[in-house]
Amino acid sequence: MLILHVRNMMRRKGDDFILYQIGILLLIWLTTGCTIGLKIIYYDKRFSEESFNKYLSKANLNPEDEFYFNFVFGSKLTFLSICTLLGLITLFADILGTVKSIKK
């Protein structure tokens, strides 16, 4: 009983609310990244062998960079996990890519 009383005295009132906000932020961040990753892979069909060859020919990568390119785009699961971790950055990149393709 004494341990619970000391723990409650040490806890500030705003700590729970901040953790709740961080949890909601992470949920939104990861959900957005996963959704955009799935959109890129299955809806936009940008995850194909033809598109990889086009990207590789435009980039003129050296062998070390080509290794990283093949690692990221080697499997759908790896690409989806990277998109999920990047979260809202993938959303902004997708929006900018769409705007640039409309302007062309």
- Whole-model pTM: value is 0.72
Predicted pLDDT at 9: 54
Domain ranges of the chain: 30-103
The runs of H, that is alpha helices, within 2-87 are 2-10, 15-38, 49-59, 63-72, 76-86
Q: Band of the pLDDT at 47, cuts 50, 70, 90?
A: confident
Predicted pLDDT at 13: 61
Tens of pLDDT along 1-42? 555 555 555 555 666 778 888 999 999 999 999 999 999 999
> What is the longest distance spanned by two Cα atoms in the chain?
70
